[in-house]
Structure 1
């Protein structure tokens, strides 16, 4: 057995183990963490993740599990999307994903780029557009109901006076 073959088996085992851990922790019926844990960890609700995963798999072949040159399974769609979301949610560097998800820096960066491009492609018409008058009216109603009238046009809210404004920010 050559060293390359042994290295390939090790990587495959790690990928499979990481996938099994991910599924046991967040996706299988007897999951270790709750849906609230998922939302806190990945900055999105579980059902939104499932919709995103389904949509990106349909549009981009990158997010379907493939086999590597040795014929072993590559990263699962769940692993690919989770890694990209973690990097975005926490501004994590790509090289930090190797320890927790077993994915190299270059693969993480490719995955992040693929996910971002796919999200734009899939959701641009519905979510990535300029707001129309109906959208603005809805935002104005919501902000007024929450005690921030006139917030549109001043999204940074710099014109609001804070009673207990942190001294270090003055």
Structure 2
């Protein structure tokens, strides 16, 4: 059994939680990686790869980043008590997008973005709350008559007449439907 003498370095507890050892996971490196990969003037991954990985255009992503940051102060990068920069807005929002777009686990997100698991979960929760609060009146509502007319027009332009009515599949016979699901949809 090894004991530490007073002269030897002992693991030090950092932070507010007793017994909680804080690991420097390289958040600055994570922020640099995200910025250089997707947002610099000459990003490693161009617009097509950005769209494939995040499922939206970079310009819309950045608009959402600004909107979420304005709505919730949590997403603003701050300086902590010892003068170190905290997590960037891009790190926090990228975390939420990676989890939502890929269904990624906290572990795989943690390795790229360099954020701890509890912070990843907090980012995702706050991001979802902010999106719902900011966009619910415009996008998270039942369609009105103007919306229906616009959707039907788009469907007709693309050769799908009466597209909204096709979403009602209740009259179909689901011969290959698992028995446990019968009558549930």
- Which band: TM-score by shorter chain? 0.7 to 0.9
- Shift of the 125–70 alpha-carbon distance from structure 1 to 2, 3 Å rule, reads same
Q: Distance in 2 between matches of 1:129 and 1:98?
A: 34
2:119 corresponds in structure 1 to 107
Q: Distance in 2 between matches of 1:92 and 1:156?
A: 31
Larger Rg: 2
DSSP-derived class of the 2:163 partner = coil
Unaligned runs of 5+ in 2: 1-8, 15-20, 178-185
Unaligned runs of 5+ in 1: 161-167
1:95 pairs, out of 107, 120, 123, with 107
* C-alpha contact (below 8 Å) 1:8/1:70 kept by paired residues: no
2:43 corresponds in structure 1 to 31
Which of the two has greater helix per residue?
1
* CA-based RMSD: 2.6
Equivalent residue runs for 1:4-153 within 5 Å: 4=12, 10-11=24-25, 14-153=26-165
- Shift of the 156–65 alpha-carbon distance from structure 1 to 2, 3 Å rule, reads farther
Give the CA deviation at 1:5.
7.6
Q: Distance in 1 between matches of 2:123 and 2:141?
A: 24
